[in-house]
Amino acid sequence: MTYYASVIVDVPAKQTDRAFDYEIPAKWHGFIQPGMRVNVPFGPRQIQGFVVEVKDNTTIPKTRPITSLIDIQPILTPELMRLADWLRDYTLCFTISAYQAMLPAALKAKYEKWLIATDLGGVPAELQPFFHASNRVKFEEMAGTSHFKTIKQLIEEDVLEVYYEVKDKLSKKTRRVMELQVSKEALLKAKEKISARAAAQHKLLDFFLETNTEKIDKKTLLEELQIGTSAIGALVKLGILKEKDEEIYRDPYENREFKKSQALSLTQQQQEAIIPILHSIEQHTHEAFVMFGVTGSGKTEVYMQAVDAVLKQGKEAIVLVPEIALTPQMVNRFKSRFGSDVAVMHSGLGMGEKYDEWRKIHRKEVKVVVGARSAIFAPFENVGIIIIDEEHETSYKQEDTPRYHARDIALERGRYHQCPVVLGSATPTLETFARASKGVYKLLTMDKRMSEQGMPSVEIVDMREELREGNRSMFSRSLLEKLQTRLERGEQSVLFLNKRGYSSFVMCRDCGYVVECPHCDISLTYHRSSNQMKCHYCGYEEPVRSTCPSCDSEHFRFFGTGTQKVEEELTKLLPHARVIRMDVDTTSRKGSHEKLLQQFGDRKADILLGTQMIAKGLDFPYVTLVGVLTADTMLNVPDFRSSEKTFQLLTQVSGRAGRHELAGEVVVQTYSPEHYSVELAGTHNYLDFYQKEMQIRKLHQYPPFYFLALVTVTHQELTKVVTVTEKITNFLNMQLSDEAVILGPVASPIARIKDRYRYQCIIKYKREPNLHEALKTVIEKYQTQMDQEKLAVHIDLNPYMLM
């Protein structure tokens, strides 16, 4: 009998987005299964592919044989393969891209395949010679043999274990670091001496001058600055930098002890929230819940007890938390409750570490995964609950192909496994809350905090008023006074600097003029050490001006204050305060994030100053004051969600205050105190915010009243971009109903990046059965041009970034 495998090949193109049949050589009969990757001949080339089906007939008259095996076991479950088909249709990607998105990066890199004998006595005689030297053997050594059936059986019986040894630098136990050897003064001197033409060396000097970094991973440094190794070499020769190897740990949690925690007895409010979830778990029915609970209402405890109920049924749990909230505190809570049953997946792990965590799931060694977005593809086969914490976080949307939202994947998997999906947030997205209001999702409300103190009081300070009254400092008088009181009482404060949206841009405080890059149409960023304005996208720079080119005002300065500058001013104003600064610079080293938080938790500092990374998930009993330095930087971003995002962020940050016995206070500094998102966040009034924002969305025809699709076209020539976008817009106009609103062609909010022009067309619609077909046609039509002329056409259904 001849067997055939249907294979989806790794060529992401329309013509190859289907299965091709190959013959399975006799030695692999019964060994090759769907979900394994193989190498196959494709035209003159050898390429990778995923086996999707094994069958004993084919309609193809002449098939070629599979060349070799990439996997020894299936790496995708039947459910995930089915999910990939769904993902393809729902994001308009190719099947192969959907498969790739589900796998850890390590499986796309170089690795060696090992077979490890867990029980040498169980290995049959014919295989014993392979294990004479040790209990592990490279799979390649078996390649020529005919033992595959036996091997498969031994793997199933757990006598043999498959291990992929990942060949990336990170999986090694050491890493290369660059260490600064000299003082800032010496760096500045070097800047004067080194020729201006040695741009890369200047970049390096600037980096160390601006960031206060003492030591940094070499690879990160090269990537970050986009420079070659020779510049580093030059500075090493001058004695400015030193290169060395430093030990790293493979398992980031392996050396830590977790105190075992017990389930707390639930409050009335928690009890009422968990009952419907437990019911869905017991009945094995799919139901979607929105857990609408204010910050500090005890949502996490409810999650953990629901997970516990699932584990008792012998099932598995997926818990998603936003990358930024994957703080050691959150991980600790799950690890202390569920111990070694937990795998943790986040971007701070190296490629090898991520593979190790994935492998624990794949081998069913763990029952719970706590992770960021991509953990939604955890290869569990018996999922009993999926929880998405901070459901409103935009990091759940993937911005590359396949452009999926983790919430949609969760609901799809929940339907498949007939299990509950819990979406938790103090500030659910309008889309989600609207569905809950309509009864599509079940609403679970927790409006009381665990602590007796209730929600913290919020004072909104108008910074324009401060300026008018002669206070030029970035601290309002009220905030400064409250910080002082905290110092006197020995309580702690958190200062939050909103850097999202704009970072350190220069704006005229009188007329609002912002300096932009001439190549990218985005505001330039201020770099202090060189006193230059730089573009983040293309590297363009120009000197800082002292007056506004538009109105000649002298109130023209560096606006989005950097954390470093805030720290300086703080130490001037409150010389006795002990300050911990947390931003990308102070946390670039592995583990430093955690160490800084630990110090703050141990009350070794009075003030924690930071960016987005401190907005979420922190729970410290002595924090009684939260100060938001600039509440409204995000309101200026051209995005219909900017009010929603501002409201969410302010609510999250305020939620860090007064979570335990001591009452909390919040000071929000803003230039737009009258804006409803600032005002309503101040009174913790989500429901009013929801009503107000819904009216605006309805008026302007935005989600949740309309669905959105975004088509973005980019190319070096403006005329090309305009004509193509125009053609696409016209085509869509013909294909869609009169109800659809098609906006475009218009320039994207960032109209140019790296001298590539960007045009877009936004489609707002309620029901358009033809839309997917029409968009598919668009992609197909431009594919050849995409390949030959570097034209790019991106389609994003339900976009989160309209830039």
β-strand pairing of 383-388 with 421-425: parallel
Is residue 774 involved in binding ligand ADP (CB under 6 A)? no
Residue of 10, 206, 301, 391 interacting with ligand ADP (CB under 6 A): 301
- Is residue 761 part of an annotated ligand binding site? no
Helix/strand/coil (H/E/C) assignment for every residue in 4-35: EEEEEECCCCCCCCCEEEEEECHHHCCCCCCC
Residue of 19, 70, 155, 450 interacting with ligand ADP (CB under 6 A): 450
| Residue where the block lists tokens 């890493």 | 175
- Give the nearer residue to ligand ADP in terms of CB position, either 206 or 390: 390
- Is residue 93 part of an annotated ligand binding site? no
Total of chain residues touching ligand ADP, rule CB under 6 A: 16
Is residue 180 involved in binding Zn ion (CB under 5 A)? no
Per-residue binding string, Zn ion, 489-508, x by CB under 5 A, is -------------------x
Is residue 95 involved in binding ligand ADP (CB under 6 A)? no
Q: Cα–Cα distance between 328 and 593 in angstroms, integer? A: 9
| Residue where the block lists tokens 């033992």 | 147
Phi, psi torsion values for 711, nearest 5 degrees = -110, 125
- Give the nearer residue to Zn ion in terms of CB position, either 487 or 750: 750
- Give the nearer residue to ligand ADP in terms of CB position, either 353 or 389: 389
| Helix/strand/coil for 387 | strand
Is residue 296 involved in binding ligand ADP (CB under 6 A)? yes
- Region of 69-77, 296-304, 608-616, 761-769 interacting with ligand ADP (CB under 6 A): 296-304
Per-residue binding string, ligand ADP, 332-371, x by CB under 6 A, is ----------------------------------------
Q: Give Cα 612 distance to the centre of its chain.
A: 13
Is residue 513 involved in binding Zn ion (CB under 5 A)? yes
* Whether the Cβ atoms of residue 332 and residue 319 lie closer than 8 Å to each other: no
Q: Cα–Cα distance between 609 and 614 in angstroms, integer? A: 8
Is residue 563 involved in binding ligand ADP (CB under 6 A)? no
Q: How much is the CA Rg of the chain, to the nearest whole Å?
A: 28
Is residue 520 involved in binding Zn ion (CB under 5 A)? yes
93's contact among Zn ion, ligand ADP, none, with CB below 5 to 8 A by partner kind, is none
Q: At what angle do helices 686-699 and 430-437 cross, to 10 degrees?
A: 100
Per-residue binding string, ligand ADP, 648-687, x by CB under 6 A, is -----------x----------------------------
250's contact among ligand ADP, Zn ion, none, with CB below 5 to 8 A by partner kind, is none
Q: Which residues contact 540 (CB under 8 A, 6 or more apart)?
A: 517, 518, 519, 520, 524, 534
Residue-by-residue DSSP string for 56-100: S--S-SS-PBP-EES-SS-SS-HHHHHHHHHHHHHHT--HHHHHH
- Is residue 520 part of an annotated ligand binding site? yes
Other Cβ atoms less than 10 A from the Cβ of 663: the count is 15
511's contact among ligand ADP, Zn ion, none, with CB below 5 to 8 A by partner kind, is Zn ion
- Give the nearer residue to Zn ion in terms of CB position, either 16 or 523: 523
Strands of 643-721, DSSP E: 665-670, 707-715
- Give the nearer residue to Zn ion in terms of CB position, either 557 or 772: 557
Is residue 517 involved in binding Zn ion (CB under 5 A)? yes
Residue 368's DSSP bridge partners are 317, 342
Is residue 511 involved in binding Zn ion (CB under 5 A)? yes
- Region of 226-234, 336-344, 498-506, 552-560 interacting with Zn ion (CB under 5 A): 552-560
550's contact among Zn ion, ligand ADP, none, with CB below 5 to 8 A by partner kind, is Zn ion
Q: Is the peptide bond before 129 cis (omega within 30 degrees of 0)?
A: no
Residue of 26, 264, 440, 687 interacting with ligand ADP (CB under 6 A): 264
Buried b (16+ CB within 10 A) or exposed e, 426-442: bbbbbbbbbbbeeeebb
Give, for 136, the enclosing helix (H) or strand (E): strand 136-138
Contacting positions for ligand ADP (CB under 6 A): 264-267, 270, 293, 295-301, 450, 619, 659
Q: Which residues are annotated as a binding site for Zn(2+)?
A: 508, 511, 517, 520, 535, 538, 548, 551
Q: Which residues are annotated as a binding site?
A: 508, 511, 517, 520, 535, 538, 548, 551
